[in-house]
A = this chain, B = another copy of it.
Amino acid sequence: MIFSSFEISSEQKINVQIENHIKEGIEKGILQKGDKLPSTREISKVLNVSRNCVIIAYENLENLGIIKSLRGKGTFVSTEANTIDGDLTISWSHMVNDYGNSCRDLDIIKTELPWKRGMISFKSIAPDESLFDIEEFKRSFLNIFSTEGDKLLNYGYAKGYKPLIEYIKKYMEDKGINVDQKDVLITNGFTEGFDILLSTLTKRGDIIACEEPTHNTAIKIMKSHGLNIASVPMNFDGIDIDLLEKTLKEKSPKVLYLIPSYHNPTGIVMRGEKRQKVYKLCERYKVPILEDGFNEELLYSSSHVAPIASLCVKGNGVIYVGSFSKVLFPGLRIGWILADKNLIDTLESVKRARTIHSSFLDQAILYNYMESGAFTRYMKKIRKHYRDKYNFTLQQVKMYIPYEYIWGEGGLHIFIKLEGVSGREVLKSCYNKGVVFMPGDIFYNEDNGSDTIRIGFSRVTKEDIEKGIKIIGDVVKELSYKI
C-alpha cells in the first residue's frame, strides 16, 4: 500500500502531506490512472491520523481532478503521470529586464560586508529608536482608533489622509512656501516620492543634474530609470555655482535634484544667498528643481534657512519632497510631495496605479501625533541630543582620524575626506577589527570619492563612538604610512 512506509511530519498540515504523497506517487508512476486508492478509513488507521484529515485530502485531490470517487466502488486515480508532473520551469533570471537588473545590481545591501553581532556600525543614519516617544505614539493610536478605527482600516484616498495633507500644507506654508495653487501627495517616504516623480517625468536617456556626492538611494533610482546623471561637484558651502551654470547651459537637464539642508552625505547646509543664486540660475535656464528636504527638520547647529521652494513665490517650478524618516518613525514610511496642484493630480493617479494609497492607519496616527504637540516636544528633545552627539563625534574624529577636510555642520553623520587613503581599504581593515561604516564612493556617480568615508553616529553609543573612531583612525594612519 502506498502509505505503508510514509511518515507524518509535524511541520505541515496532515491533509497536505497526504495530498502531496499521492501526487508524488502518480508522478513517479507508482500510482497509475485507474488504480484504486486505499479507503479513507484504511489510511487513517495506517497513519494513525483522524479520518477527517484524509477525507479533506481526498476532497482536495478530487477538486483538482487528480482522483475520482465512485459511489460504492471506491476512489481511483483519474489522471496520467505527466498531467501533474508540475514541471513548469521558467528561467526567471533571463526574464528580468534592465530595470530589475539595475535595481538588484545597485542594491548595495546585497554586496556589502555582512554585519556581525558585536560590531560597531557607523553605517546607519536612521534615528535612534530609543528616543522615540512610544507612549505618546500609543496615545495617538488609541485616540484616533477609538473614533475612526473601522474607517481607517478600509480603503482610503490615493492622495492621502485629508487632515494630514492639510497639516503638512500648513507646515510647509509656515516654512515660507507659497502653497497657493499647490497640493500635497502622501507617499511611502522620500523613496516612493522620488521614484514616482522620475517615473512620471523622465524617460530613459534623459539628463538629470544633481550635486556630487549625493544621496546613494537617489543615485540608484536615477540609474535604474536609465537617466544620465550630470553631477555638479560641491565645495565646502555646497554645489559649485559656476559648474552648475555650465551644466544647466550646456546639458539642459530635465530636472535639478538638490539636498540643500544637511546634505547627504556631506552634512552641508546651503546658505540663503547660495539658495537664491541656484534658484535664479534655474529660472534663467528654465530647469525645474526637485528639492529633497529629508533632513530639513534636523537643523540644529545653524539658524533656520527657508527651503528653495520658498523662493518660488509665483511659479510652480520647485517640487519639494519631504519626509520625517530621519527623525521620526521611518518604519511607517510616510513622506510627501508638495508641488503644482495639476501635477499632483497626475501623480495621484500614478500613486493609485502603484500602491492605491499609503497606510491610512499610519497616516492618521502620525497626524494625531503631530497635531497633539508631541512632535514639537520630541523635536526639541532630539535636536539637543543629536547636536551633542554630533559635536562629540566630530571631536573624536578630529582627534583620531587624519583627514584632508571635513565638510558640513550637522545631520546624523560626518563626511570625511581622507588624505589619499582609499575608503574601501580602510573599511576592509576595520571590518576585521569589528568596525563598519559607509565607503564614500557610493555617493558618487562616477569613479570619484574613493578617499572619502561617511560616519553615521545616530545609533551608536558614545562609548562605541570613541572606540570605533579610534580603530578607524589607527587603520587610516597605518595605511597612510604605506602610501
- The stretch of A125-133, A394-402, A443-451, A468-476 in contact with B is A125-133
List chain B residues, Cβ under 8 A from A184: none
Whether A279 touches B221, Cβ cut-off 8 Å, given contacts A155-B331, A332-B359, A362-B359, is no
Contact across chains for B356 and A333 when beta carbons are under 8 A apart: yes
A178-203 interface code vs B (CB 8 A; 1 in, 0 out): 10000000001101100100011111
Q: Determine if A342 is an interface residue (Cβ-Cβ < 8 Å).
A: yes
| Residue of B whose beta carbon sits closest to that of A142 | B138
Whether A353 touches B306, Cβ cut-off 8 Å, given contacts A199-B100, A346-B104, is no
Q: How far is the CA of A279 from the CA of B330 in the complex (A)?
A: 42
A126-178 residues with Cβ-Cβ distance < 8 A to B are 126-127, 129-130, 132, 134, 137-138, 141-142, 145, 149-156, 158, 173-176, 178
Contact across chains for A279 and B103 when beta carbons are under 8 A apart: no
Q: How far is the CA of A186 from the CA of B313 in the complex (A)?
A: 42
- The stretch of A82-90, A230-238, A418-426 in contact with B is A82-90
Chief secondary structure at chain A's binding surface: helix
Q: Determine if A220 is an interface residue (Cβ-Cβ < 8 Å).
A: yes
A319-335 interface code vs B (CB 8 A; 1 in, 0 out): 00000010001111100
Q: How far is the CA of A304 from the CA of B156 in the complex (A)?
A: 31
Contact across chains for A150 and B174 when beta carbons are under 8 A apart: no
Contact across chains for B87 and A283 when beta carbons are under 8 A apart: yes
List chain B residues, Cβ under 8 A from A464: none
CB distance from A151 to the nearest CB of B (A): 6
Q: Determine if A314 is an interface residue (Cβ-Cβ < 8 Å).
A: yes
Looking at the complex, which one of B27, B175, B279, B352 makes contact with A88 (CB distance below 8 Å)?
B279
Looking at the complex, which one of B20, B101, B315, B325 makes contact with A87 (CB distance below 8 Å)?
B315
A253-303 residues with Cβ-Cβ distance < 8 A to B are 254, 271-273, 275-276, 279-280, 282-283, 286, 288-289, 303
Contact across chains for A86 and B314 when beta carbons are under 8 A apart: yes
Q: How far is the CA of A329 from the CA of B151 in the complex (A)?
A: 9
Quickly give the copy total for this chain: 2
Whether A16 touches B176, Cβ cut-off 8 Å, given contacts A331-B153, A345-B104, is yes
Contact across chains for B191 and A353 when beta carbons are under 8 A apart: yes
Q: Determine if A228 is an interface residue (Cβ-Cβ < 8 Å).
A: no
Contact across chains for B83 and A280 when beta carbons are under 8 A apart: yes
Q: Determine if A12 is an interface residue (Cβ-Cβ < 8 Å).
A: yes
Whether A83 touches B276, Cβ cut-off 8 Å, given contacts A64-B311, A107-B352, A340-B92, is yes
Contact across chains for B282 and A88 when beta carbons are under 8 A apart: yes
List chain B residues, Cβ under 8 A from A306: 19, 60, 63-64
Q: How far is the CA of A129 from the CA of B350 in the complex (A)?
A: 26
Q: Give 8 pairs: A residue, B residue, CB < 8 Å, sorted on A.
A: A64-B276, A83-B280, A99-B199, A109-B352, A134-B149, A138-B145, A191-B354, A191-B355
- A: which residues have CB within 8 A of B? 12-13, 16, 19-20, 23-24, 27, 59-60, 62-66, 79, 83-90, 92-93, 95-97, 99-101, 103-104, 106-107, 109-110, 124, 126-127, 129-130, 132, 134, 137-138, 141-142, 145, 149-156, 158, 173-176, 178, 188-189, 191-192, 195, 199-203, 217, 220-221, 224, 254, 271-273, 275-276, 279-280, 282-283, 286, 288-289, 303-306, 310-318, 325, 329-333, 339-340, 342-343, 345-347, 349-350, 352-362
Closest 6 CB pairs of A and B: A88-B317, A86-B313, A65-B273, A100-B200, A64-B272, A107-B349
